[in-house]
Amino acid sequence: MSEDGLDPVIHAPARLRIAVTLAALPDGDNLSFTTLQDLIGLTPGNLITHLRKLEDAGYVTTHRSGSGVTARTSVALTGSGRTALEHYTAVLRQLLDSASQPQARDARQQEFQAGS
């Protein structure tokens, strides 16, 4: 976790889009690699790289079935991934809420000015 509590694995924009897209599915459902690629708009190489980072963190699973022309890779969000995304969004909401509160905003401005 970063200082502000945002998970750096999920925080990357492409990985956040992947996690949110998979979280929109019912528990246990998955998307094919190509469908996810079309929805997210990443090249195959970029998607593989981001999926690997999410998989290393335990946030997604990938399953390859078939071979050759009939090969299909499916991608699903794990329970840990769903929990991590829920925590990420809660922390982000708190940060955004505190930014809109005048006292917190004034304190941050004073900290910024003192650091300049």
CATH value at residue 43: 1.10.10.10
Q: Is residue 2 part of a domain?
A: no
| Domain tally, the chain | 1
Q: How far is CA 60 from CA 18, 50, 52, 100, in A?
A: 10, 10, 9, 33
Please check whether residue 1 lies inside any domain of the structure: no
Domain extent for 47: 8-115
What's the farthest any 2 CA atoms get from each other in the chain? 62
Per-residue pLDDT tens, the chain, 116 aa: give them: 556 689 999 999 999 999 999 999 998 899 999 999 999 999 999 999 999 999 999 999 999 998 888 889 999 999 999 999 999 999 999 988 888 776 655 665 666 666 65
Q: Are 42 and 50 in contact (CB under 8 A)?
A: yes
Within-domain flag for 15? yes
70 within some domain: yes
* Domain annotation covers residue 3: no
